[in-house]
Amino acid sequence: MSGKTYTCPMHPEVRRNKLGLCPKCGMYLVEMAHGTGRGAQGSGHGARSAEQGAGKSVISVSGMHCASCAQTIERALKKTPGVKGANVNFATGKAYVEHETDEEALRKAINSTGYKALEEKAEGHKHHGAGAAEGNNLEEIKYQFRVFLLALVLSIPIVILTFTDLFVTGFSELLVLLALTIPVQFIAGWQFYRNTFYSLRYRNLNMDVLVSLGISAAFVYSVLSTFFIKGFVFYETSALLVTFLTFGRFLEARTRGKTSEAVKKLVKLQAKTARVIRGGKEQEIPIEDVKVGDIVLIKPGEKIPVDGLVVKGLSSVDESMISGESIPVEKKVGDKVVGATMNKHGSLTIKATAVGGNTVLASIIKMVEEAQGSKPPIQKAADRIVSYFVPVVILISIVTFAGWMLLFGNFVSALTAAIAVLVIACPCAIGLATPTAIMVGTGRGAEHGILIKGGEALEKVGKLNAIVLDKTGTLTKGKPEVTDIIAFGKYKELDVLKIAAIAEKHSEHPLGESIAAKALEKKIKLADAKNFKTIPGFGIIAHYGGEILVGNRKLMQKHKVSLADSESKLQALEKAGKTAMIVAFKRKIVGVIAVADTLKENAALVIRELKAKKLEVYMLTGDNERVARAIASQIGINNIFAEVLPEDKVQKIKELQRKGRVVAMVGDGINDAPAL
């Protein structure tokens, strides 16, 4: 790794000579491209690719069905030269490898175990093989359904012929049963035999060994009974076992597809195409073809395709998926924009600074994936138990067979009991429950804006003594609402609201929508204004019986509207942390409407319940101290961290941890992820 430099996608000023985490935000560092001050260009393969060699890789794997399968792959990877560590998670279907070799060697090691390392699709809006994994999961579901259907269709006549008086078990009839059972045994059940072979090859007995022993014992004894010895046949037993087990595999594949929805939803946030300027011409290209340094055009209402710097234009951008803030952020020349956020009203021209696997969104996806793939202490213990589980089950099966023979001397009964012991252990909840619970828990958390960074965090919940809450979107609704209406001169509050709402009736800005919603609540009938125009960073202009202006001081000054009588009111509202919008009609101020993010109805109740559980409650926010204390006082929070920048939130958490607190944090924005 000598001679390589690594940087952070969010903080390009951070430089390190080895892989690790960014000290400012906790994201994974990526290799810098030579001759640039930014991270290496992404290709959709994540921060690492096969060509990059050493580092951390996440490889999607198909064919795993239990924790022992994952252990088999882990052993093969750890024996591969250059591999420093490997963690294979059955629930996520991914291998997480730290290595000093190329990815091709890792893929060969995985394939040698009988499982399949998936090739990633080179799509910029995919990440860490998300596209390949999703496509493979669909193929896995289809395959398991096909083999289940085959087993079911053939098992039905096998059962009917075995258990009805219509069928006499002569030699020719037994041959019919055998002919029906062979496809079930060796086509539908082939996956069990294949996995058993590789399991024995790597000396890591898994659940498929038990399945193979169970169905083979029933089938072989039935064949012997048909041709060589006089006895009962168990063709229906082996056929039904394969049918039920393939149905289980089908349900399992469907479950894995659903539990990975969190990552899929994050991946889908990314735009699929970008409009770039190349050779002086505007052209629309797939997102994976965008390069660092490209000039990208973004029209109103479009997603920003990549991370970049604004070089031209003025607009407001909805960054709620990153910051949790519901009010769009004004963007002008020189400001940073983040891929997958939504451009609102103005047009922007940006210079791409990070693409593919090096974007902020890609880093967040990687964090969620690695959280889902992490092994908490309880899962490591479960894996150790599973490694002894299969041999113990086989031993119990042998003892059961011997015991029945000694006590009753009935070979058929003894064999049936031995097969039952083998088969009943197949689901193996020990190895399956823990990774699946972590997968579902972290996935559901991510869907609701909660990033659970690893399974170990779930174990620590019972030891909590401090909880830190983000303000915006967590304690508050995350959506602006009208809180104050101040009228001037002859106008009344409802007059001011009506004038502003007529102008804002068709607005898509959250502030304008809150005014229109308030008018609707008051049952005010709104006419349609004419010549509606949005001016990013200022406000709006519309006409209805005269010119209506709704916006900030800059808009009023531009149109020469005097603010002399309203300044004190404006300052008082702003000191209370509210957004004050001035309403003017025919170039004269008629009132002020204040909008703010209000507390959730259950916020105070939640705080009371947390305190009742003897938890110390803290509020962490980027807002000024006056606003923070005003909010905190309403819901009973005494401990406040205010005016904290996103990158400094993690330091506040560490500060509490140094004081011996076991801390949980609740946040709703991706900007909270490092602290989380």
Active-site amino acid positions? 470
Quote the CA–CA distance of 501 and 327 in Å, as a whole number. 18
* Nearest by Cα to 308 from 321, 319, 293, 323: 293
Dihedral sign for Cα atoms in the order 105, 111, 116, 119: positive
Contact 58, 369 (CB under 8 A): yes
Quote the CA–CA distance of 582 and 559 in Å, as a whole number. 12
Tokens 């229109």 found at:
516
Contact 253, 148 (CB under 8 A): no
Residues paired with 390 in a beta bridge: none
Q: CA 626 → CA 325, 511, 621, 622, distances in Å? A: 19, 22, 12, 12
Radius of gyration of the chain from its Cα atoms, rounded to whole angstroms: 32
Q: Please report the DSSP string for 328-375 in residue order.
A: PEEE-TT-EE-TT-EE-SS-EEEEEEE-GGGSHHHHHHHHHHHHHH--
Quote the CA–CA distance of 441 and 378 in Å, as a whole number. 15
| SS3 annotation, 39-93 | ECCCCCCCCCCHHHCCEEEEEEEECCCCHHHHHHHHHHHHCCCCEEEEEEECCCC
Residue type, 174: L
* Nearest by Cα to 602 from 555, 554, 634, 639: 634
Q: CA 66 → CA 63, 196, 383, 440, distances in Å? A: 10, 12, 10, 16
Residue type, 657: Q
Residues paired with 582 in a beta bridge: 551, 592
How many CB atoms are closer than 10 A to CB 494? 14
Indicate the Cα dihedral angle 429, 243, 391, 72, nearest 10°: -80
Structure tokens at 451: 């990033």
Structure tokens at 329: 């952020």
Judge residue 393's burial from the number of C-beta atoms within 10 Å of its C-beta, 0-12 exposed, 13-18 middle, 19 or more buried: buried
Contact 315, 348 (CB under 8 A): yes
Quote the CA–CA distance of 415 and 361 in Å, as a whole number. 56
Contact 126, 135 (CB under 8 A): no
Measure the CA angle with vertex 599, ends 595 and 600; round to 5°: 125
